[in-house]
Amino acid sequence: MGRGALVLHGLAGKAAVWDPVTAALRGRFATTAPDLPWHGMADPAWAHRPDPGRHVVDAVRDDHDVVVAHSMAAMLLVEAYADGRVRPRPTVLLCPFYRPDPAGFDWPTISYYLNDFHRTFGEALRVGETGRFPPARREWLARSLRDQVGPYGWTRWFETYLRTPFLDVGAIDAPVLVVSGADDVAARPEDGRALAQALPRARFELLDGCGHFPMTEQPDRLAALVRDFFEESLELT
């Protein structure tokens, strides 16, 4: 087990969501799955300072040969690669947010992501262990998570999204697998497809019948995709 893998969760996520993926990589990779400052019900003070990407930069070490990043962490990792703050390496970007043109951000888009921000958390609660809870309770929990993230957390997330059209993604010269869920209510499949097209060495995989949390909704399929991609990529590099 001479290679290292890093897995990064999204906003209000947790390291444990990666258990199926880390199990699939066991025996070939030593896997690190940190709880990032924006995990679960974390103190929202992480968002009071700019540049949340510094936490991703700090998490990635030279002995991490491959990386898997979900949602907000995927955006921040792409930004760090594009800016040269982190050396690109074989990477799986899961349900990333990306728009190639600033004109893609209009007032209806902002209204959706602001006023319906809790819907993403509602999806996580629906497909996770809390799926057995009544819908009304899951709705309350989703809004509670939104409130815990708070306006500063939302702003840090959305301003990162707004920067994506200006990233020099053409400078990311590493194999990348972009995975999107066909039913994702947060990161549109069009975002993932556009990012894969913009990256020099990327391919796109669309998961039918899946939303924003493939690691929970289709863990076995995702784990196989990640394992096979890394094995193929490391043979080529």
Banded model confidence at residue 236, pLDDT cuts 50, 70, 90: low
Q: What are phi and psi of 29, to 5 degrees?
A: -130, 145
pLDDT, tens only, 115-158 = 999 999 999 999 988 999 999 999 999 999 999 999 999 999 99
Pick the closest to residue 79 from 60, 65, 62, 63 (CA basis).
60
Pick the closest to residue 167 from 223, 84, 107 (CA basis).
84
Rounded to whole angstroms, the Cα distance separating 25 from 224 reads: 9
pLDDT, tens only, 172-184 = 999 999 999 999 9
- Sequential DSSP letters for 148-212: HHHHHHHHHHHHHHHHGGG--GGG--S-EEEEEETT-SSS-HHHHHHHHHHSTTEEEEEETT--S
CATH number at 3-236 = 3.40.50.1820
